[in-house]
Amino acid sequence: MRRVWKTPELDYYNLYADMLQQPHLLIAGATGSGKSVVSKSLAAAGAVVIDADKIAHEIILKGEPAYQEIVKYYGTGILDAKGNIIRRRLGEIVFHDAEKLAFLNQCTHKYICAEVDRQIAKAEKENTARAVILDAPLLLEAGLESRCDTVWVVYADPEVRAKRVMARDGVSYDLAKARIANQKSWEEYKESASVVIDNSKELAYLQGQLDEILKTI
């Protein structure tokens, strides 16, 4: 029997068929929406997961090309005593200044996309995974959806996301809300989505949805 899934928008999609027939799947969503849980469940089902957030951390390490560009633009005030970029300090700067955020995105996206392409090519060459999953927190802006056959967007209520960001990153409510405000709106994410996964409630609620999907694998 064909298994379908009901999204918050009352549309129906055959998620299992999407995953099997589309080898390149982008999972996107704003900060605090819960994308990583979805990616981990798919990885456990035999998919290769390319973690764009991990790549974003690595490309700004000392000695990497993006590091030089970032320090030149923002100055040494974002560095610790060992010369490493303090991500929280950089975040406080860009999430309150649209122009500075735009530069950071322009600087990092080209390096992130290059590494994503390298890892996709590696996964295709090995050809052992059921699907290639690109876990991209914000990178619809970078055009990464063009590398994928379908886009899944994870949704969560903004207040829920703010609380998750506060707990995860140890930041204030105001800073969490500022980060959310500086990202794409839900309407913009929805426009790019082939599938919407609702993660507005507890982690157990999301896992229950994924468990039902994964039963068909």
> What was the pLDDT predicted at 137?
65
Superfamily per CATH, domain 5-212: P-loop containing nucleotide triphosphate hydrolases (3.40.50.300)
Buried/exposed code over 61-76 (b: 16+ C-beta within 10 A; e: otherwise): eeeeebbebbbeebee
> What was the pLDDT predicted at 19?
40
Strand order in the sheet with 195-198: 48-51, 132-136, 24-28, 150-155, 195-198
pLDDT in tens, 158-194: 999 999 999 998 989 998 998 888 787 888 888 888 7
- Mean pLDDT computed over every residue of the chain: 80
pLDDT in tens, 54-69: 999 999 999 998 999 9
> What was the pLDDT predicted at 205?
82
> What was the pLDDT predicted at 14?
43
Q: Which residues contact 11 (CB under 8 A, 6 or more apart)?
A: 196
Q: How far apart are CA 88 and CA 66, in angstroms?
A: 17
> What was the pLDDT predicted at 126?
84
DSSP letter for 85, please: B
> What was the pLDDT predicted at 162?
94
Q: How far apart are CA 170 and CA 148, in angstroms?
A: 33
Which residue ranges of the chain lie beneath pLDDT 70? Answer: 1-23, 137-143, 212-217
For the chain, the domains span: 5-212
> What was the pLDDT predicted at 215?
63
